[in-house]
Chain A
Amino acid sequence: MKRVFSLRWIVTGVTMVLVGASVAGVSAVYDRAARRAISTQVESGLLLRARQLAGAASGALLTDFPELTLHPLLRDLRLRQPELALLVVHDRSGTIHGHPDVRALGTWFTIPKGLQPVATDEELGRGESLARNRDLLVATTPVLHPGGGVLGAVWVGIPHRHLEHLLAEARSRQRVGFAAFAGTSMVVALLLVSLLLRPLGEVRAGIARIAGGDLDSPLRIRDRTELGHLALAVNDMAAKLKRAQAEMLERERLATEMGLARRLQRSLLPREGRAAAQFRIEGEQWAASEVGGDWYDVIEREDGRVVIAIADVSGKGLGGCLVAAMLAALVRGLRDVETSPATLLAAIDRRLGETLPPGSFVTLWYGVLDPPTGELVFASAGHNPPLVLRADGRVEWPRSTGIPLAAIRGGAVAATLRDERLRLSPGDLLVQYTDGINEAFVDGGDEAFGLERLAAAATKAAGGGARAVVEELHAAVNAWRGGGAAHDDETVVVLQHQALEAPGAGGTSGNGAAAAAPSLLAEARRRGGSLCIPATLTALESLRDWMQCQDGLGSLGRDDAARVELALHEACANIVEHGYRGRTDASLELWWLAEPGAGVRGWLVILDQAGPFRADNWSASDFTDPGVRRRGRGFGLDILHRVMSDVRYEQAAAEGNVTLLRFVGTSSTGEVVRDG
């Protein structure tokens, strides 16, 4: 942290500097004044002394022996004022008659050398003078006869040293005084600054409190200086901060609640698409507000059928979400209990009627799909009819009667509900949706997206699969709205019957086989995930691990997995032993083409580049024949044919030989499909 400069010391320091400067200035001025004062004082003192002496000498010089009077006088004077270096009274002829030193009496007076008159403010009488030389300041006064004649002169002198001495004394006195003054002013300055700045400490403490989150203790400074204003400003800031904080907390709380609601909403919807036998079911919801009021679900029943439900709740936001949650719970709870969609909807209607606020209602479309047969039973409570797009391009809108659930309370809705049926064949497509799709408007426009456009969009994307249709519908509605905001939730569920190109209807070798191998091989290459191994028996050890990674095969029970591995091993071993006949540079490649649906089923495709072969006319071994058992050979094909429901050998031109093995696992009821 940077060094903190205390105001206290800055102010004090500056004060000291100012005081020092002024003291120095004053001192200089004073010095000069003092010098002048002292000089004047000395001069006048000197003159006075001289005049006094002259007065005394006047009478003495008239006597015969003036020394008798003057000498003691001067000696005394010298004793009293030792600084008077020159003290002489002489007569008209210059003979000294008065002198502190006896030996000087009677001698001639020598005027001190180099005397220059001194400018002075003193009034000098006749014959008086004030002069100085290098050493002395001298005052001279004539001794006058009472009648007016000059009897002699008095000379009084004082050395400059004395003056300097006096000055030095004065200066030191002055210094003490100034020091005291400086000291006092420093102390006063310190005290004053401290006093003034005390509120600053209070302000700082207050701001620290605010920074610590305490917005409730205002600064209490009853100061009339700027600090008082500062305190007011800080208090004001604290109050505003407090308000802003409260607002932010409120917003956060709301956002959290909405976030929770949104998560709840999303959790009610299927996370991803689903496959059921040959069907692919995809759905998506684009919520208009933060929380949607539409709901859809795709769930399996215990008997393997798939429930598709879609609903529109007449209330957006949090309320709609809660009703959707209720629907989800009811549908999930009742789906295995009721086989008839109409009955199920009636049951839901009763429950909803008890719970929903008056005026609320729900449209719900409920369908049950039997994937193996493609049969769909459905009922609709006031919901839009689904679009059924047939493989040949026909467009149908199968309707059902039925008013929305809880539109009328008391169970009257039940009577309007009816089960309807339809069958979906390979290539057919069913689309369910909510109002947000077909009633999408351009802002300010008067034409809705409509059912025809819906059918057109679905038709356009049908070739790309269920997901593509979902995306295309969303894009088309978006484009229709011109990119404006949606006013309603848009929910879409698409059901498509896809069929893998299964050659024939399963069954014995050779049926309709010619077209099968290339298409299965092509499909295999498209899907990838193959195992490519050298054509050696040792390499076949990796079959087990590869199987465990395969969709479906990896989930087989231990016994089933062992059977499949056995069969696969036999097929590959055949290729190794009979096809390649010991070639070490060869390899074979295999794929597993899983088919969607209950249980594990699909095609194993093995490709090799061994020499062409003729498919053996295989017949099952008769193990009751001891000879067969004794021979102990040729069981491989038995295993193959017992585990796989179809075994074919093809030659795919330029690619090599293709072995096709169809595996159909146990059904969901645990029945073994093919007897061993």
Chain B
Amino acid sequence: MAEAFEITAGESRGRAAVVRLRGRLDAGGVQALLNHTSRVLAAEQNLVLNLSQVSFIGSSGVGALLVTLEMFREQGCDVRFVELSAAVAAAIQVLNLDRFLPIEASEDVAISKLAA
């Protein structure tokens, strides 16, 4: 049963673009993710990335999250990762990356923090 990787753009709230991911994020989906986030960056928006529906994230997916964060910060924008699914949380925890990734509990919290 293929859990296809999907990227859904939510409504923008102010300067924050909400993007929701769904399915398995492994090497196959990384490029699509980076393309999408690049477009968000090109629009000079902040990114709120909702990971609640990510059923699996491989190392390349984690790498993509890190790259995205670096990309945005270099350009003066910011990223918040919200509602980590169990799979994402496990991957982050294994690599002890939780101190490097800004994680918020919900989209609303992330948006208000980005606005501040």
Contact = CB atoms under 8 A, between A and B. Distances in A.
A538 interface: yes
A537 B94 CA distance: 21
B42 interface: no
A275 B88 CA distance: 35
Nearest to A566: B91
A26 B69 CA distance: 137
Contact of B24 (A541, A563, A577, A623): A541
B63 A537 contact: no
- Pick the most buried of B2, B63, B65, B94: most chain A CB atoms within 10 A of its CB: B94
A642 B67 contact: no
B28 A537 contact: yes
Interface in A465-500: none
Given A562-B86, A563-B94, A623-B95, A635 B26 contact: no
Given A562-B90, A639-B94, A642-B94, A626 B59 contact: no
Nearest to A675: B96
Contacts of A629: 66-67, 69-70, 100
B1 interface: yes
B108 interface: no
A454 interface: no
A198 B86 CA distance: 92
Interface string B74-105: 00000000000011011101111100100000
Contact of A626 (B58, B70, B94): B70
B86 to A, nearest CB: 6
B32 interface: no
Contacts of B66: 629-630, 632
A540 B2 CA distance: 10
Interface of A: 537-538, 540-541, 544, 558-559, 562-563, 565-566, 569-570, 573, 577, 623, 626, 629-636, 638-639, 642-643, 676
Give 4 nearest A-B pairs by CB, closest first: A632-B63, A562-B90, A632-B67, A636-B59
Contacts of A626: 70
A563 B92 CA distance: 10
A549 to B, nearest CB: 16
Contacts of A635: 59-60, 62-63, 95
B27 interface: yes
Contact of A541 (B2, B60, B91): B2
Contact of B95 (A573, A631, A642): A642
Contacts of A562: 86-87, 89-91
B59 A541 contact: no
Contacts of A573: 26-27, 58-60
A544 B90 CA distance: 14
Contacts of B62: 632, 635
B60 to A, nearest CB: 7
Nearest to B70: A630
Interface string B20-57: 00001011100000000000000000000000000010
Contacts of B58: 566, 569-570, 573, 636
Nearest to B4: A538
Given A562-B87, A573-B27, A632-B67, A623 B94 contact: no
A676 B94 contact: yes
B17 interface: no
Contacts of A566: 58-59, 87, 90-91, 94
B49 to A, nearest CB: 15
Contacts of A563: 90, 94
B116 to A, nearest CB: 24
A287 B81 CA distance: 67
Most-contacted residue by chain B among A559, A632, A634 (CB, 10 A): A632
B27 A537 contact: yes
B86 A676 contact: no
A639 B95 contact: yes
Nearest to B91: A566
A633 B63 contact: yes
29 contacts: A537-B28, A541-B1, A541-B2, A541-B3, A544-B56, A562-B89, A563-B90, A563-B94, A566-B59, A566-B91, A570-B59, A573-B26, A573-B58, A573-B60, A623-B100, A626-B70, A629-B69, A630-B67, A631-B67, A632-B64, A632-B65, A632-B66, A633-B60, A634-B63, A635-B59, A638-B94, A639-B95, A643-B94, A676-B94
Contacts of A570: 58-59
A639 B86 CA distance: 16
A63 B92 CA distance: 179
A638 B60 CA distance: 12
B56 A565 contact: yes
Given A537-B26, A676-B93, A676-B94, 14 more contacts: A538-B2, A541-B24, A559-B89, A563-B90, A566-B90, A569-B56, A629-B100, A630-B67, A632-B64, A632-B65, A635-B60, A635-B62, A636-B60, A638-B94
Nearest to B88: A562
Nearest to A643: B94
A623 B91 contact: no
B67 A639 contact: no
Nearest to B74: A630
Contacts of B93: 559, 676
Contacts of A631: 63, 67
Most buried by A among B24, B69, B95: B95
Contacts of B91: 562, 566, 639
Contacts of A636: 58-60
Contacts of B89: 559, 562
A559 B92 CA distance: 11
A638 B2 CA distance: 27
Nearest to A635: B59
Contacts of A541: 1-3, 24, 56
Nearest to A536: B28
A464 B2 CA distance: 45
A642 B92 CA distance: 12
A623 B97 contact: yes
A638 B89 CA distance: 16
Nearest to A640: B59
A629 B62 CA distance: 10
A254 B112 CA distance: 80
Name the residue among B27, B69, B86, B91 with the largest chain A CB count within 10 angstroms: B91
